[in-house]
Structures are given as C-alpha cells and as structure tokens.
C-alpha cells in the first residue's frame, strides 16, 4: 500500500511538473523542434532541470545504504545498443515530433485537454498492443 501511495504522489508531482512546464501543449514542443523558425526554448529548460535533478540523484544513490521506499535499488545493468532499441528510439522521436507529445505529457494532457489527448493515448495503447501481438511477448 505504501508503494502505491508513493507512486501516486510521484506520478502526480511528475504530471504537475509537465503541466506547469507547458509540456502538455504540443505547440510548445513543436516550437522547440522548429530550430529555424519561431524557436521556443522552454523544453530545453525543462530538460535541463530534469538532468540537474538526475545528476544529483546519481551522486546520492551510491552513498545510500538502502532506498527510502523500495527494498533494493534498481540500477540499469545493460548498456548494449540493439536494432530494436535504436528503432524504438527513432519511432519515439518521429512520433514525438509529429504529435508534439510523448507518453508522460500525453497522459498528463488528459486532465487538461481530454478530447485531443485521448486520440494520442489511444494511438499509444494501440502501438503497444501491436508490438505485443507482432512480437508474441509482452513488450
């Protein structure tokens, strides 16, 4: 139960941060990607803030005996690049550029603009289902 409450609190904080940073507005994201037009640097500041927080976290984690909420740390161990990973990253970037949303802001946008965000979330879920069907395993 404690994990569920913590997850809800962290997810709510993340969604609020995306909304306050303007990342639920596809036009703002497209403005960031428009380098030679009316460029909007907002996303760079949001990403910079995220990188700063993670840089601090990566320095603190090795010094902690155990996590505050979980039983153990879950640090990534894989560092290889596979064609599936590269292809997935390319599809993510193309979809992000076209829609102006990625999964986090798309879900957060459901609270602000439910009708337009619902189209994105439905397409997201359909894509996840397609991967599961075509690969024959959970993705």
pLDDT single digits (tens) 79-97? 888 998 898 899 888 888 8
Length of the chain: 139
Q: How would residue 122 be classed by pLDDT, with cut points 50, 70 and 90?
A: very high
Residue-level pLDDT at 137: 63
In whole angstroms, give the CA distance from residue 73 to residue 58.
12
Residues 6+ apart with CB under 8 A from 103: 124
Backbone angles phi, psi at 85, to 5 degrees: -65, -45
Write the pLDDT tens digit of every residue in 14-63: 888 888 888 888 888 888 888 898 899 988 998 899 899 999 988 988 88
Positive/negative CA dihedral, 90, 132, 4, 120? positive
The answer to whether the CB of 46 falls within 8 A of the CB of 54 is no
CB atoms within 10 A of CB 61: 11
The structure's pTM equals 0.64
Cβ burial, residue 123 (10 Å; 0-12/13-18/19+): middle
pLDDT at 136 over 80: no
Residue 125 has pLDDT above 90, yes or no: yes
- Section 127-133 average pLDDT: 88
Average pLDDT, the chain: 86
Q: How far apart are CA 19 and CA 21, in angstroms?
A: 5
């Amino acid at each position: 139960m404690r994990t569920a409450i913590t997850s809800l609190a962290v997810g709510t904080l993340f969604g609020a941060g995306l909304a306050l940073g303007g990342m639920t507005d596809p036009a703002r994201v497209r403005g960031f990607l428009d380098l030679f037009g009316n460029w909007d640097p907002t996303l760079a500041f949001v990403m910079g803030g995220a990188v700063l927080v993670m840089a601090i976290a990566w320095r603190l984690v090795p010094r902690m005996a155990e996590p505050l909420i979980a039983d153990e740390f879950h640090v990534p161990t894989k560092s290889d690049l596979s064609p599936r990973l590269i292809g997935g990253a390319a599809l993510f970037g193309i979809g992000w550029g076209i829609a102006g949303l990625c999964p986090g802001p798309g879900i957060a946008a459901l609270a602000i603009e439910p009708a337009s965000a619902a189209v994105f979330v439905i397409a997201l879920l359909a894509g996840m289902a397609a991967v599961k069907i075509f690969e024959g395993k959970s993705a």
